[in-house]
């Protein structure tokens, strides 16, 4: 996890290689709470914009009740289709607004999305046996 602004921008720059290599990465940053944003604080930048070009999924997290969906979605996005980095931007310089918040959250682990690729197609075993038999009985012309 990187904190706001320059650290977040450096993290975004560092995601170029995993983006090009199609490597799943979950990047987490913290930003100023909404009430403290847009006050021209030292080195304050918008976090979402620098991550758009190097992530598949890029979202700001402001409400603890969003966590179950957004974290599961981040892992799904990171490993499905063409794998790649995702970014979650938590409110609070170190995510404190989320960390200090309270929510009745059910922890759900989607076992299908803990490996890359999450879905591995398998052939019909009968068709594989049939193809093997055809190859075994083939003759050179």
Domains of the chain: 6-116 (3.40.50.970)
Residue 81 region by backbone torsions, left for phi larger than 0, else alpha for psi between -120 and 50, else beta: left
What's the gap between Cα 37 and its chain centre?
Answer: 25
Return the sign of the alpha-carbon dihedral for residues 46, 70, 72, 64: positive
- Chunk the chain into consecutive blocks of 10 residues (it has 141) and report each block's average pLDDT, rounded to whole numbers: 70 95 93 66 77 95 84 92 93 61 69 72 91 93 83
From first CA to last CA, the distance across the chain in angstroms is: 63
What is the distance between the alpha carbons of residues 64 and 62, in angstroms, rounded to a whole number? 7
C-alpha span between 8 and 46 (Å, rounded): 9
pTM exceeds 0.85 for this model:
no
């Amino acid at each position: 996890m990187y904190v706001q602004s320059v650290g977040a921008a450096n993290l975004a720059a560092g995601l170029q290689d995993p983006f090009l290599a199609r490597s799943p990465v979950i990047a987490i940053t913290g930003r100023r709470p909404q009430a403290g944003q847009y006050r021209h604080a030292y080195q304050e930048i918008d976090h979402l914009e620098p991550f758009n070009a190097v992530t598949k999924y890029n979202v700001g997290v402001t409400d603890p009740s969003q966590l179950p969906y957004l974290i599961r979605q981040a892992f799904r996005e990171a490993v499905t289709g063409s794998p790649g980095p995702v970014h979650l931007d938590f409110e609070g310089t170190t995510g404190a607004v989320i960390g200090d918040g309270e929510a009745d959250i059910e922890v759900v682990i989607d076992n299908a999305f803990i490996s890359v690729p999450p879905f591995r197609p398998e052939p019909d075993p009968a068709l594989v046996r049939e193809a093997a038999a055809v190859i075994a009985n083939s003759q050179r012309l």
